[in-house]
Structure 1
Amino acid sequence: MKIFFDLLPIILFFASYKWAGSNAEQAMQWLNHYLGFAVSGGSVGLTEAPVLLATVVVVAATLLQIVVLKALRKPVDKMLWAGLVVVVVLGGLTLWFHDETFIKWKPTVIYWLMAAGFLITEIVLGKKMLRQMMGGQVHVPDPVWRKLGWAWVLFFASMGVLNIWVAYTFPTDTWVSFKMWGSLGLTLVFTLAQGVYLSRHMAPEEGAAEASNQG
């Protein structure tokens, strides 16, 4: 359930973009009626309606995540607050200037913020955030955690570069599909590779205990 909650903005961005692509006239009319004041010139064109509608949806979805967490009195992650600021600023610029370039930079900015977070926390401060994220249940030597910290820094930095390369090289439809499937797929593969790497450095008795618990 938490995974779906975390992915909700991406899913809704993808779904609304695809819907508006098939119903551009309706999307354009809705945007002009309700958000004409938020765009330069007061009017949204037919071809730009899909990405602008998807931008509005992803801003609303990110805000909704925080509202729900607050209503349930659950802590709001700092990266979620940062994501809200980034999506509101870049989403607002996308709407006002009718320019999808701004929202295409959003994943890259988030990836680079996460890379910076891992760099500062894991490498500079040595707080072993990855170990804390795993509930302290995985015990491996400190150099292993440090290598994993560097791996996540490089992964997020590379994903930021890859996102913007796709955004500038391919049509918007391709970028939206990459944002939904490509980036998530690469993250899943990297996470699985991390699990394999950790399993090779766990103490034998710990690995046997985890295998017994899973069985």
Structure 2
Amino acid sequence: MKIFFDLLPIILFFASYKWAGSNAEQAAQWLNHYLGFAVSGGSVGVTEAPVLLATVVVVVATMLQILVLKALGKRVDKMLWAGLAVVVVLGGLTLWFHDETFIKWKPTVIYWLMATGFLITEIVLGKKMLRQMMGGQVDVPEAVWRNLGWAWVLFFAGMGVLNLWVAFNFPTDTWVSFKMWGSLGLTLVFTLAQGVYLSRHMAPTEAPAESGKQG
């Protein structure tokens, strides 16, 4: 359930973009009627309507995530606050300037913020955030945690670069699909590889001592 909640903005971005792609005139009319004031010139064209509608949806979805967590009395992660700030700023610029360039930068900015967070927390401060995220139940040498910290730093940095390469070398449709399926798939593969790496360095479990000898 938590995974679905975390992925909800991406899922809604993808779904709304695909819907608007098949109903571009209706999407443009809706945007002009309700959000014309937030668009330079006050008018949204049919060709730009899909990505602009998807941008509005992802901004609203991210806001709702935080409101739901607040309503349930749960802690809002710092990265979610950062994500909200990034999507509001870049989403607002996308809408105002009719320019999808800004929202295409959003995943990269988030990835690089996460890379920076891991670099500072795991490497510089040595707080072993990964170990805390796993509940402190995984027993491996300190060097393994440090290697994993560097791995996540490089992964997020690389994903940021990859997003830009796809965003500005392929059609927007391809970028939207990559944002939904490609980035999710790569993250899943990397996470599984991390699990394999951890399993190879975990201390063996000791067999329980015998309670007594049989006579």
Q: Under TM normalisation by the shorter chain, which class is it?
A: over 0.9
TM-score, normalisation: structure 1:
0.96
- 1:158-193 CA deviation, whole Å, 9 max, x = no partner? 000000000000000000000000000000000000
Match of 2:38 in 1: 38
Aligned pairs for 1:119-198 (under 5 A) are: 119-198=119-198
Q: Say what the alpha-carbon RMSD is for the aligned residues.
A: 1.0
Match of 2:79 in 1: 79
Gaps of 5+ in 2: 209-215
Distance apart, 1:113 and its partner CA = 0.1
- 1:140-171 CA deviation, whole Å, 9 max, x = no partner? 00000000000000000000000000000000
Aligned pairs for 1:44-63 (under 5 A) are: 44-63=44-63
Match of 2:5 in 1: 5
Return the alpha-carbon distance in structure 1 between the equivalents of residues 62 and 38 of structure 2: 19
Return the alpha-carbon distance in structure 1 between the equivalents of residues 67 and 79 of structure 2: 15
- 1:82-115 CA deviation, whole Å, 9 max, x = no partner? 0000000000000000000000000000000000
Distance apart, 1:54 and its partner CA = 0.0
Give the match's secondary structure for 1:120: helix
Match of 1:96 in 2: 96
| Total equivalences in the alignment | 208
Return the alpha-carbon distance in structure 2 between the equivalents of residues 202 and 159 of structure 1: 28
- 1:104-140 CA deviation, whole Å, 9 max, x = no partner? 0000000000000000000000000000000111010
Tell me whether 1:115 sits opposite 2:137 in the alignment. no
Return the alpha-carbon distance in structure 2 between the equivalents of residues 200 and 8 of structure 1: 33
Match of 1:213 in 2: none
Return the alpha-carbon distance in structure 1 between the equivalents of residues 21 and 175 of structure 2: 14
Distance apart, 1:27 and its partner CA = 0.2
Return the alpha-carbon distance in structure 2 between the equivalents of residues 127 and 71 of structure 1: 30
- 1:29-64 CA deviation, whole Å, 9 max, x = no partner? 000000000000000000000000000000000000
TM-score, normalisation: structure 2:
0.96
Return the alpha-carbon distance in structure 2 between the equivalents of residues 12 and 135 of structure 1: 31
Return the alpha-carbon distance in structure 1 between the equivalents of residues 182 and 65 of structure 2: 23
Moved over 6 A (4+): none
Gaps of 5+ in 1: 210-215
Query: Aligned letter for 2:165?
Result: W
Identity between Structure 1 and Structure 2 (%): 91
Give the match's secondary structure for 2:205: helix
Select the structure of larger CA radius of gyration: 2
Give the match's secondary structure for 2:201: coil
Give the match's secondary structure for 1:47: coil
Return the alpha-carbon distance in structure 2 between the equivalents of residues 52 and 121 of structure 1: 35
Return the alpha-carbon distance in structure 1 between the equivalents of residues 135 and 55 of structure 2: 35
Give the match's secondary structure for 1:136: coil
Give the match's secondary structure for 1:148: helix
